[in-house]
Amino acid sequence: MSNQPRHIAIIMDGNGRWAEAQGKNRTYGHEKGAEIVRSITTYCGEHSEIDRLTLYAFSTENWKRPKLEVEFLMKLLEKYLKSERSTYLDNNIRFEPIGDLSIFSKSLRNVIDDVQKATEGCNALTQCLALNYGGRDEIVRAVNASRENGAITVESLTNALDCTHDVDLLIRTGGDHRLSNFMMWQAAYAELFFTKTLWPEFSADELESIIKKFKTVERRFGGLN
Ligand code: IPE
Ligand code: IPE
Ligand code: MG
């Protein structure tokens, strides 16, 4: 039987370079990137073998960027969630955030909360946005939350994480070969795919061809096949 890409995780990289290559501001790339989020999410929602799509939208390290870019990203996120509320519902897609949301503005947290609650019963796909997310921060928060419960096990720590689901297929666009603090625990046995395509140019067709390759890989999980 071929592998099923039940949980796909994507590092959506390359928005800034894509915009700059056209002589535009980096923010233009983020706007275009948000449109690609919509189309890739819709594609995954239409394919029943995919249960979960986790997208890296803002890392715990992205606060180092210029204030104006960070402010733009926060506004874009709020605008995106407000305008996509009906798209989630129409496509039966559940929205879930991961990451430390406590740092966000009240109005952004309210929108996140509202879309999460509104889509709770949707079950075609869970789209999980990683917001102020860092794998190390997630693990540290999980360890702190578990400290009083005796010795930590792999299972107990997994259950204390923001994301309790192993990643099957992890994709990074934008040409770099690194995890940048994404899904450090969950990607332990993920298949890693890197593409030079910048995120604003990524497409459902390219995702489909990656999934096709993924299905042919022999996943051994340390055993022998
Ligand atoms: C990814 O694209 C989006 C975020 C990190 C928010 P970048 O903004 O990192 O684009 P490049 O990598 O600089 O081209
Ligand atoms: C990773 O991209 C974070 C997101 C896609 C949200 P970065 O552009 O922040 O990663 P580095 O800095 O190149 O490692
Ligand atoms: Mg980048």
Indicate whether 195 belongs to any domain: yes
Assess if residue 15 is contained within a domain: yes
Q: What is the C-alpha separation between 25 and 56, in angstroms, rounded?
A: 21
CA–CA gap between residue 182 and residue 194 (Å, rounded): 14
Which residue's structure tokens are 């249960």? 51
Question: What is the reported pLDDT for 138?
Answer: 98
Provide the number of structural domains found in the chain: 1
Residue 106 lies in a domain: yes
Cα of 216 from ligand 3 centre, angstroms: 29
Predicted confidence (pLDDT) per residue in 175-217, tens digit? 999 999 999 999 999 999 999 999 999 999 999 999 999 999 9
Please indicate, yes or no, if residue 142 is contained in any of the structural domains: yes
pLDDT band at 225 (very low <50, low <70, confident <90, very high): confident
pLDDT in tens, 42-76: 999 999 999 999 999 999 999 999 999 999 999 99
The label of the residue with tokens 């909360």 reads 113
Q: Let me know if residue 223 belongs to a domain.
A: no
Strand partners of residue 7 = 52
Structure tokens at 15: 């928005």
CA distance 65 to 44: 31
The reply to whether ligand 1 has any atom less than 6 angstroms from the CB of 12 is: yes
Residue of 10, 11, 15 to test ligand 1 pocket, by largest number of atoms within 8 Å of CB: 15
Cβ of residue 80 lying under 6 Å from some atom of ligand 2 = no
**Ligand 1 neighbourhood includes 15 CB (under 6 angstroms):** yes
> What pLDDT digit, counting tens, does each position of 126-168 carry?
999 999 999 999 999 999 999 888 999 999 999 999 999 999 9
Tell me, yes or no, whether 225 lies in a domain.
no
What spacing in Å lies between the alpha carbon of 182 and ligand 3's midpoint?
Answer: 13
Q: What is the pLDDT of residue 119?
A: 98
Q: Is the pLDDT of residue 1 over 80?
A: no
Per-residue pLDDT tens digits for 79-127: 999 999 999 999 999 999 999 999 999 999 999 999 999 999 999 999 9
Tell me the three-class secondary structure of the chain, residue by residue. Answer: CCCCCCEEEEECCCHHHHHHCCCCCHHHHHHHHHHHHHHHHHHHHCCCCCCEEEEEEEECCHHHCCHHHHHHHHHHHHHHHHHHHHHHHHCCEEEEEECCHHHCCHHHHHHHHHHHHHCCCCCCEEEEEEEEECHHHHHHHHHHHHHHHCCCCHHHHHHHCCCCCCCCEEEECCCCCCCCCCCCCCCCCCEEEECCCCHHHCCHHHHHHHHHHHHHCCCCCCCCC
**Rounded mean pLDDT, 7-27:** 98
Residue nearest to atom 1 of ligand 2 (CA): 180
CA distance 123 to 143: 30
The reply to whether 220 falls in a domain is: no
Taking residues 11-27, report their average pLDDT. 98
Q: The CATH number of the domain where 81 resides is what?
A: 3.40.1180.10
In this prediction the pTM is: 0.98
Cβ-Cβ contacts under 8 Å for 118 (sequence gap 6 or more): 85, 88, 89
Q: What pLDDT score does 188 carry? A: 98
Annotated catalytic residue 62: yes
Beta bridge partners of 169: 8, 191
Task: Print the domain residue range for 144.
Answer: 7-214
| Top mutation candidate among 26, 40, 59 for ligand 2, by most atoms within 8 Å of CB | 59
What φ, ψ does residue 49 adopt, rounded to 5°? -75, -15
Q: Is residue 222 part of a domain?
A: no
